Amino acid sequence: MGAIRSPSPVNLFCGLISNDPDLMMRAVRLLEQHQGPTDAVSELWPFDQTHYYTAEMGEGLQRQFVSFAKLIDPGQLASIKILTNSLERRINYELGLPEDQRRVNLDPGYLTLSKVVLATTKDYSHRLYLGSGIYAESTLHYESGRWVAWPWTYPDYADTRYHAFFEHLREQFKAKLNARRSARGGGDLA
């Protein structure tokens, strides 16, 4: 029988999609009020692999990622997705827009040394239920020194344009884990 253990901490990040960089910064400030300071912010990339959000959010969409300094328990992902949904609604309310006309999409996930996991409200064959109406999927996995997509990976994540940022997060995460181990008297990760 396997021993039940507490999970290792993970690196929380959030993907943002919008055609308004100022609203993206506003969303990041709201996220920081709940998750603490960010420790990495990606460049802005055109969100051009799909038109899924165009009808709802408009043309000229951009993607950005932010990483948070504090490591989290992976079991928190469902509650963080619920939080990001409420922040999307709050931004719409403050702008005087209806809920179904999002201006900023917030997609939380986490990174480990071996995978990138995303939270979603949509079920599908490869997704696992976390609770409270939230599912998760492993979107990328680390293999032979690089990030690799799964057959179900979203096209923008499968395209390698984000992979350098996730490689940076992976190295940063490794340093955070090493700092925690050193503080507890353990050795560094390879």
User: Residue 85 CB: number of other CB atoms within 10 A?
Assistant: 18
- Is residue 78 domain-resident? yes
- Provide the percentage of residues in the chain whose pLDDT is more than 90: 86
- Is residue 73 domain-resident? yes
- Is residue 121 domain-resident? yes
pLDDT digit string, tens, across residues 118-161: 999 999 999 999 999 999 999 999 999 999 999 999 999 999 99
| Token reading at 4 | 């039940």
Average pLDDT over residues 162-189: 89
pLDDT digit string, tens, across residues 65-106: 999 999 999 999 999 999 999 999 999 999 998 877 899 999
**In the predicted model, is pLDDT for residue 187 greater than 80?**
no
- Is residue 110 domain-resident? yes
Q: What is the pLDDT of residue 105?
A: 96
Residue whose token pair is 């931004």: 91
Distance CA 155, CA 77 (A): 22
* Strand boundaries in 51-188, DSSP class E: 62-72, 105-111, 115-120, 128-131, 134-143, 146-149
- How many domains does the chain divide into? 1
> 180 pairs with which residues across the strands?
none
Q: For residue 20, count CB atoms less than 10 angstroms from its CB and return exposed for 0-12, middle for 13-18, buried for 19 or more.
A: middle
Residue ranges making up the domain that contains 35:
10-180
- Is residue 2 domain-resident? no
**In the predicted model, is pLDDT for residue 26 greater than 90?**
yes
Average pLDDT over residues 164-189: 89
- Is residue 5 domain-resident? no
Q: What is the pLDDT of residue 63?
A: 97
- Is residue 186 domain-resident? no
- Is residue 68 domain-resident? yes
| Token reading at 55 | 């009808």
Q: What is the pLDDT of residue 87?
A: 97
**In the predicted model, is pLDDT for residue 111 greater than 90?**
yes
**In the predicted model, is pLDDT for residue 190 greater than 60?**
no
Average pLDDT over residues 9-16: 98
